[in-house]
Amino acid sequence: MQCEICKTRPATVHLTEIVDGQRTESHLCQHCAQKEGVTIKNQLSLNELLSSLIAAHQQTDEQSEAEGQISCPVCGMTMEMFRKQALLGCPKDYEVFEKSLQPIIEKSHNGNLTHKGKIPSGASLAPAKPGLKDRQKMKKENKIEELKKQLEKAVRDEDYELAAKLRDKLKALEQ
Amino acid sequence: MRLNELSTRLSQWFSPQAPLSDIVISSRIRLARNIAGHKFIPRCSEAEKRKILETLKETILSLGELGDIFFIDIERGSGLERDLLIERQLISRNLAAGKGPRGVVIAKNELFAAQINEEDHLRLAVFAAGLNLDKCWKRVNEIDDIIGKKIAYAFSPTLGFLTACPTNLGTGIRVSVMVHLPGLKMTDQLKKLFESAKDMNLAIRGLFGEGTEAVGDFFQISNQVTLGISEEKTVEDFMTLIIPKIVEYERIARDRLLVKDAPVLDDRVSRALAVLKNAKIISSHEAMFLLSNLRMAINMGRLKEISIDTINELFLLTQPAHLQINKGQNLDPEQRDILRAETLRAKLN
């Protein structure tokens, strides 16, 4: 395939754009693409990627290790006790042992880490009761999360028209 | 309400007039809840457990919306009473075997049970006959709303309802459907079912048996993921996808048996009937197995002289605690096997 602009060099940049539901395709050579301002996002080098992953991992390890030394100020629970009986001692444990529990929660819930569903109608004495604003915010966040998942799936399935629609919806929600 | 009022009759959720009830025995939805400001049960002192029990018991008993309900003290109840409630699926083995102040509020019609101080402070459950999860969810959600207005639940905006075990975190919902799958068993396809269930993050447990053993081909299918999936979606998956598929496979298996092995099937049924009508001593295990064969045969139109109601009733009446409470005395296993055979002969002849 030849470049659509210079019509001489071979087209190596293939761009599919969907704006307001209109799909346009362009096939350009490297040279013309640059002139047109079509830039391909520099991909993170593999080394950079790896080192950032390892750093994140180390941080988690350090935090988990710190959590391994402490006991919950409310119920006296430790991670070692949890590992033995697989039950926590109080709601606070979910904060105190957040990092150590995360992989366990992720594993039991098919990779999910965020609640979706019912929010208690709210007793007035609830200390952690979300206010109306928080509730609306949570609902919005749930929706955004859902859209993001659908978007990922659409991209995986190469359904770019659906992906574009989802992207527009997401943009509108995030503004 | 005395427990022997329960022990002589059939649970409402065991009714044959319900959606898909030839294969789906019953539906149940339970929600796990904890009260904010209290420790979870494993770290609770006796005094704290007592306080939680009193608070929840009073709150639930005062709800007019629940109709005719009563409280059973599991801490003080006898082992036999606990076993009876387990056999009727109203409490878990875990509650029966627990320690300290604990109990259950039960609706007289047995379609609602609130276990207090089980693994979590509160486990609300609603039951229905056949495949009827929509109804269960609507009802348990309403009850949960009413209690949630009076009591502050432990809840986190990101993690949802906080539970003692992280596996119940989020919605705290456990959707369970009890199914009868003798066809899949006879055609040797249960392994396939277990494998696909595992892929779909479902748990399958045998019912009526000790531990995981499935006596009489009854299985309970439940969801395991409670975080990141809404209650409605969980229920919908069961109603529209999971259970209809299993029912379809079971029907295909039964049809195949009829086409390929009708004489074998009929022979099995006749033998089952002969033993149940004549035995003088019969174990719980054998009775369940034979009753399961009859149940399938009735649903397949191969046995007309006995009703499904009778079979369902016998499933309960021949359980160990039911036998003893109805007799009014403790019996050792040998005596129970004799009484079980008597009960079966009386109902089937």
Which pLDDT tens digit goes with each residue over B284-321? 989 999 999 999 999 999 999 999 889 988 988 999 99
Q: What is the pLDDT of residues B251-287, one digit of tens each?
A: 999 999 999 989 999 999 999 999 999 999 999 989 9
Dihedrals φ, ψ of A101, to 5°?
Answer: -80, -25
Q: Is A72 part of any domain? A: yes
**Complex-level ipTM:** 0.87
CA distance B48 to chain A (A): 12
- pTM of the predicted protein model: 0.77
Please state, for a pLDDT cut of 70, what percent of chain B lies above it: 95
Give chain A positions within 8 Å (CB) of B230. 116-118
- Percent of chain B at pLDDT above 90? 78
Indicate whether A101 belongs to any domain.
Answer: yes
Q: Are residues A29 and A15 in the same domain?
A: yes
A11 falls within a domain: yes
Looking at residue A128, its pLDDT comes to: 46
Residues A68 and A104 in one domain: yes
User: How far is residue B145's CA from residue B168's CA, in Å, rounded to a whole number?
Assistant: 19
Min Cα–Cα distance to chain A from B52, Å:
14
Interval B212-241: pLDDT, tens: 456 778 999 999 999 999 999 999 999 999
The phi and psi torsions of B70 (rounded to 5 degrees) equal -150, 160
Which structure tokens are listed for A107?
A: 């594993």
Look at A91 and B141 and tell me if their CB atoms are within 8 Å: no
Q: How far is A77 from chain B (nearest CA, A)?
A: 8
**Considering CB atoms only, which of A89, A94, A117 is closest to B42?**
A89
According to DSSP H, which parts of A19-131 are helical? 30-35, 46-69, 79-85, 93-96, 98-108
The DSSP H or E segment spanning A94 is helix A93-96
B254 torsion bin: left (phi>0), alpha (psi -120 to 50), beta (else): alpha
Last residue of a domain, one of A108, A136, A162: A108
Spell out which residues of chain A touch residue B167, defining contact as CB-CB under 8 Å.
Answer: 108-109
pLDDT tens digits, one per residue of B103-117: 999 999 999 999 999
Query: What confidence tens digit (pLDDT) does each residue in A15-44 have?
Result: 777 766 677 778 888 888 777 776 554 445
A56 interfacial to chain B (CB closer than 8 Å): no
Of A63, A81, A108, the one marking the end of a domain is: A108
Q: Which domain holds residue A94?
A: 46-108
Kindly identify which residue of chain B lies nearest to residue A146, measuring between CA atoms.
Answer: B228
Q: Tell me, yes or no, whether A58 and A94 share the same domain.
A: yes
Considering the domain architecture, whether residues A30 and A52 belong to the same structural domain is answered as no
Judge if A96 and A58 occupy the same domain: yes
Does any CB of chain B come closer than 8 Å to the CB of residue A99?
no
In a shared domain, residues A84 and A66: yes
Residues A10 and A25 in one domain: yes
Q: Confirm whether A116 is domain-assigned.
A: no
A54 and A103 fall within a common domain: yes
Across the range B172-194, mean pLDDT stands at 92
Q: State both tokens at A46.
A: 């593999």
What is the helix, strand, coil percentage profile of chain A, to 5?
55, 10, 40
Among the partner-chain residues B36, B149, B154, the one whose CB lies closest to the CB of A121 is: B149
- H or E stretch at A28: strand A22-28
Tally of structural domains, chain A: 3
Residue B217, min C-alpha distance to chain A (Å): 28
Residues A87 and A133 in one domain: no
Q: Which of B161, B226, B231 has its CB closest to that of A109?
A: B226
Q: Residue A77's closest chain B neighbor by CA?
A: B43
* Residue carrying the six token digits 């996808």: B241
pLDDT along chain A (175 residues), means of 10: 84 75 78 72 53 57 72 92 91 93 93 93 49 64 78 82 84 77
Give B154 to chain A, closest Cα distance, Å. Answer: 7
- Return mean pLDDT, chain B: 92
Q: Under a CB-based contact definition with an 8 Å cutoff, are residues B103 and B71 in contact?
A: yes
Domain boundary among A61, A76, A108: A108
The answer to whether position A114 is within a domain reads: no
- d(CA B322, CA B145) in angstroms, rounded, equals 35
A to B CB pairs, distance under 8 Å: 144
Q: Which amino acid is at B107?
A: A
Distance, CA of B19 to CA of B27 (rounded, Å): 10
B171–A115 C-beta distance less than 8 A? yes
Are B169 and A74 a contacting pair at CB < 8 A?
no
Q: Which of A21, A3, A23 lies closest to A13 in space, CA to CA?
A: A3
Q: Is residue A113 situated within a structural domain?
A: no
Q: Which of B32, B62, B58, B326 is nearest to B163 (CA)?
A: B32
On whether both A56 and A87 belong to a single domain, the answer is yes
Q: Residue A18's beta-bridge partner residues?
A: A23
A101 chain-B contacts, CB cut-off 8 A: 166
Q: Show Cβ contacts of residue B78 under 8 Å, excluding neighbours closer than 6 positions.
A: none
Same domain, A15 and A29: yes
Contact B186, B297 (CB under 8 A): no
Question: Using CA atoms, how far apart are residues B137 and B130, in angstroms rounded to an integer?
Answer: 14
User: Both A104 and A50 in a single domain?
Assistant: yes
Which residues 6+ apart lie within 8 Å of A15 measured at CB? A25, A26, A27, A28, A33, A38
Evaluate whether residue A117 is within a structural domain. no
Q: Is A96 on the interface with B (CB under 8 A)?
A: no
